[in-house]
Amino acid sequence: MEIQVLGGLSVQVPARTLRLGTPKQQAIFAMLAVQPGQLVTASELVDELWNDCPPRSAVANVLSYAANLRRAFEACPSGRGIIVRQRNGYRLDVPPELIDIFCFEAERSAGREALTAGHLDEARVLLGRAVTRWQGPMLAGIPLGPVLTARTVAAEDERLLATELLADVQLRAGRDDLAIPLLREVVARHPLREPAYALLMRALYERGDHAGALVAYDEIRARLSTDLEVAPGGDIEELHRRIAIPVPTPVAVAQPGRPAWAMRDAAGAAATEQTRQLKPVDHLPRAVADFVGREDVLARLLAETRRVEERVPAVHIIDGMAGSGKTTLAVHLARRLSARYPDAVLFIDLCGHGEKNRVEPATALVTLLRQLEVPVEQVPVEFEAKVELWRRELARRRSVIVLDNAASSEQILPLLPTEPTAVVLVTSRRRLAHPDVAPSQTLPVMNPEESVDLLALTVGRARVDAEPEAAAEVVRQCGHLPLAIRLADARLAHRRNWRLADLAEQMTAGAPALHHLAQEESTVAKAFAASYEPLPEPTRRVFRFLGLYPGKRLSPSAVAALTGLTVTEAHAALDGLVDRNLVEDLDSTRYGLHDLMRQYSVELCVRTDSPSDRRLGLGRLFDFVLEAALRVADLLEPGVVRAQVTHVWSGHPELAEALGESTAEWLETERTELVTMVRSAHEAGFYRHTWQLARSLWRFCYIRGYYEDIILTHTAALAAVEAAGDVDAMAMVNNYLASAYVRTGDNRKALDHLTRSVALSRDSRDVLSAARYRANLAAIYWWSGQLTESVELGFECLRDYKVYGNLGVPILLPNLGLALMALGRHKEALQLHRRHLAWARTNSDEFHLLNALSHIGTVRIRMGDFRQAARILVASLALRDRTGHRYAEAEVHNDLGIAYRGLGRLVDAQHEHEVARRLSIASGERHVEAAALNDLGRTLRAQGRDGEAAGMHEAALRLATRIAHPYEQGRALAGLAEHFAGIDSAEARRHWERALAIFRRMGVPERLEAERRLAET
């Protein structure tokens, strides 16, 4: 077995290369490979894969990736026992000599020792072997986190040192002919590397090329002056003087005790320090290796950038027909500009080709800010605040931003910078016109010479030169469109025995598709047809139906459901389409369809397949997806969801097996696809599937804190049930919409929807559901500050307990208990929460168990039992970590902070409040954010940081006012009153009066303290 990391990542086992799976899976193996024999913990792997913002399923995903890797290795005899599961992590059990980076390091060290001992021949062999192990950048193509980035940077530095050391050895041996190519390669890749330039100048000088040595000096001096504003180091200047004014003594750069490979200077140190401070980011996709032509367009755009870049941000819009190479040009130009704009290179696909998946500016801003490594908790909710933060971050950096596939000027305007520190490259199929944006640059097709050059890069210059007329005919039939030429290239690359004339003949004889490649959108469709037409009809049918799939990541089982095939048949068809480059293999289990290819697929399906066949396929797909989601929902809500969603699936038995084991993590992985599926089902008129799938996803989204997904899916569901006229379903959907709105602090909408639920269900035969909707009003009343109404309704519902049955306990008790606690009726509240806890234990319901614990802890805090409260709240959080339930997690952290404050643990309290605030922002729970701000203010005041505390209360007041949360408004006013008490008694009194008015209206115990303090002022 051989493990290679230098130039990419691969594992060679006897007779084949082992497949390592998805990019994240490869990153996990890379972490093990660079630390052989060492334990790498799951938490370290999570930090590497997601750095500062891991998803909630991060640990589960890591375990899944690692299990896939272990299975891949154990499938071959030499790989068994290689990846060892150990405690809370994994270890790669192989000797370091099987991994090329460790072989490189050993050979480099041995070569250096041989040189020190004066054994030039041995040093040359060892260092030469070490340097030739590199086949490209270390771990090329692997997503790198902090550990792997540091490892690759260190390894690259060692590579440069080894190369310079080898060049020094060659010079000592009189082989300047071997040293010069090595050094030219180094300075080409690292134009600011002074030790390499010093060696190059020495090599050219000793060869007798004095002019070449002076040219090398001019290059490094100009680069250092332009890029770093420093002069070359003393070693280079001394060498330059020797070259410019020859002296009889031989040139010797390496001084005693300071060999050439170890030279360092102030400029290098300054560059290193600058790099550390700037921390550049690069999110460009990999540029195509065969970029040719477009020099006139590139020159024009570069010149325009230089002309305006000191005054305004340069914004270039590149439009053109499908397949003309807009994105390729933009990425290439971004690479060219990155030397002048080194701090950030960003890329986002705005998906402007279709309405459904179009990226809205607010979503794009979040993605771009995350690319700049802005922590998610610092990204504001309001759109205008996002824009302001984005432009402020850009003003601090010299950046290049590629906005790909824009739909309109309105889509990109909020994403444009305001300071002349950035270049923006926009691509679009439309000509965008707006007064604030410069006219677009229309990208034409390639000229004949460029087209032939592009063809030659893939099929080989020799084949093109041997058949120039046939090559010209091929690119002419492609309409000189880059995408079409690349499709032609692919056909030839897989048929090495074909001549260019054979392809040219096929494109002209009875195949009019490619003849029309010069006509805008149809040109791409005809180019795709060259790969589509040769397919057998069953595979073509699969391709046509792929365009109907609503999401972006297709599984073989979903394709089987869509097409009516078995999973095996669907998998085989997908593999055939991958071979034709019509479908992309995203990983070993998912496939993707490019948006242009999707449009082509839809056109074919509409033209070829009947409306009834298309609807039948979509119906099978929605049936399959609904069954898969229901199986997980049934685990999360046993006995509840199946009573509301009466779905009977009659799919193929093999599909049932393909579903496998139902887990919440499957929903986590497929969540985005499923949300899209709900909206697509509504648009296609599958109303029953729409609301039933939305309902099946509700519990998972609720306990994981995906409240925005609930709003998206249930808004579509509400439209569907209203269109279908299903009154019972309307009542249910309104109820679950209310659950999301109350968690995100929109009490008015929550109350509106829940009131509609109650009204719609008044005459329903589903008495239990109707009673639940009415009981849920108690929670809305509590959040709205109507505590008396909440308690009255809660007790009224308790008197009708028989209507609810056993399942009524977790609905009635928690809400009533919270309202009683807020009114100061602590013993009654504690009794109800204990009954809730007993129910949860009896029914083995972990979700209600952790919620009952957290509610008991909250009451204990109000009763002054801080030690007991902290113990209970920590247990509740531990249970959340174990189960993956995220519901009310931010509230529990905030309550734990209050308990710690009561115990005098102020640093711990501050930490918990800050965690609560961060989590509440991430989940959109604005009422919790307001509470966390208020309690953080109280803790800061307890620390003597009164000014900072006032700032927290002011922020809480603004937020609580915006979301109409009276209780936190009152607390914020009370906090500000305490702040003004020793500064401005009139202002303090004014705040106490406002707080007291709120507390009296709510009837909460805080009114007593407010009355006392007001009397004192």
How much is the average pLDDT of 930-941? 95
Nearest to 216 by CA among 247, 248, 177, 187: 187
Residue 808's pLDDT is 61
Q: Cα–Cα distance between 194 and 191 in angstroms, integer?
A: 8
What is the percentage of the chain residues whose pLDDT exceeds 70? 89
Label residue 730 by pLDDT band (50, 70, 90): very high
Q: Which of 68-82, 142-156, 354-368 has the highest average model confidence (pLDDT)? A: 142-156
The residue type of 568 is T
The pLDDT tens digits for 159-215 are 999 999 999 888 887 788 888 888 988 888 888 888 888 899 888 887 778 878 888
The residue type of 188 is A
Label residue 426 by pLDDT band (50, 70, 90): very high
The pLDDT tens digits for 587-646 are 767 888 866 577 778 889 999 999 999 999 999 999 999 999 998 898 888 878 888 888
Adjacent-strand bridge partners of 348: 403
Nearest to 566 by CA among 651, 650, 655: 655
* More reliable by pLDDT, 1005 or 228: 1005
Judge residue 47's burial from the number of C-beta atoms within 10 Å of its C-beta, 0-12 exposed, 13-18 middle, 19 or more buried: middle
Residue 390's pLDDT is 93
Q: What is the DSSP string of 247-286?
A: -SSPP--SBTTB-GGG---HHHHHHHHHHHHH--EE-PPP
Does the structure show a pLDDT above 50 at 248? no
Residue 520's pLDDT is 40
Tracing tokens 């690359």 back to the chain, one arrives at: 493
Residue 275's pLDDT is 36
Does the structure show a pLDDT above 90 at 405? no
The 3 state secondary structure assigned to 727-744 is HHHHHHHHHHHHHHHHHC
Residue 73's pLDDT is 82
Cβ atoms of 92 and 37 closer than 8 Å = yes
Cβ atoms of 245 and 176 closer than 8 Å = no
CA 960 to chain centre: 31
Q: Which of 273-282, 396-405, 497-506 has the highest average model confidence (pLDDT)? A: 396-405
* More reliable by pLDDT, 287 or 1000: 1000
Q: Cα–Cα distance between 194 and 262 in angstroms, integer?
A: 11
Residue 636's pLDDT is 85
Cβ atoms of 284 and 333 closer than 8 Å = no
Q: Which two tokens stand for residue 641?
A: 């969801």
DSSP 144: P
Judge residue 724's burial from the number of C-beta atoms within 10 Å of its C-beta, 0-12 exposed, 13-18 middle, 19 or more buried: middle
Lowest-confidence segment of 418-427, 502-511, 986-995 by average pLDDT = 502-511
Burial per residue of 659-676, b for 16 or more beta-carbon CB atoms within 10 angstroms, e otherwise: beebebbbbbbbbebbbb
Q: Which two tokens stand for residue 602?
A: 């839809």
Q: What share of the chain is helix, strand, coil (3-state, %, to 5)?
A: 65, 5, 25
Q: Cα–Cα distance between 42 and 28 in angstroms, integer?
A: 10
Q: Which two tokens stand for residue 634?
A: 């049934």
The residue type of 980 is F
Q: What are phi and psi of 894, to 5 degrees?
A: -65, -45
- Structure-derived torsion over alpha carbons of residues 986, 989, 993, 994, reported in degrees to the nearest 10: 70
Nearest to 1002 by CA among 829, 766, 814, 784: 784
Q: Which of 455-459, 659-663, 919-923 has the highest average model confidence (pLDDT)? A: 919-923
How much is the average pLDDT of 82-100? 86
The pLDDT tens digits for 840-885 are 898 888 888 999 999 999 999 999 999 999 999 999 999 888 887 8
Does the structure show a pLDDT above 90 at 262? no
Q: What is the DSSP string of 921-987?
A: HHHT-HHHHHHHHHHHHHHHHHTT-HHHHHHHHHHHHHHHHHTT-HHHHHHHHHHHHHHHTTT-HHH
DSSP 84: E
Does the structure show a pLDDT above 80 at 228? no
How much is the average pLDDT of 367-377? 87
* More reliable by pLDDT, 894 or 762: 894
Residue 272's pLDDT is 35
Does the structure show a pLDDT above 70 at 663? yes
pTM score: 0.52
Does the structure show a pLDDT above 70 at 10? yes
* More reliable by pLDDT, 22 or 544: 544
How much is the average pLDDT of 222-250? 73
Q: Cα–Cα distance between 981 and 369 in angstroms, integer?
A: 41
Q: Cα–Cα distance between 185 and 231 in angstroms, integer?
A: 23
Q: Is 809 left (phi over 0), alpha (psi -120 to 50) or beta?
A: alpha
Q: Which two tokens stand for residue 869?
A: 């409260």
Neighbours of 147 (CB within 10 A): 18
Lowest-confidence segment of 590-604, 757-771, 956-970 by average pLDDT = 590-604
Label residue 804 by pLDDT band (50, 70, 90): low
- What 3-state class would DSSP assign to 692? helix
Residue 287's pLDDT is 64
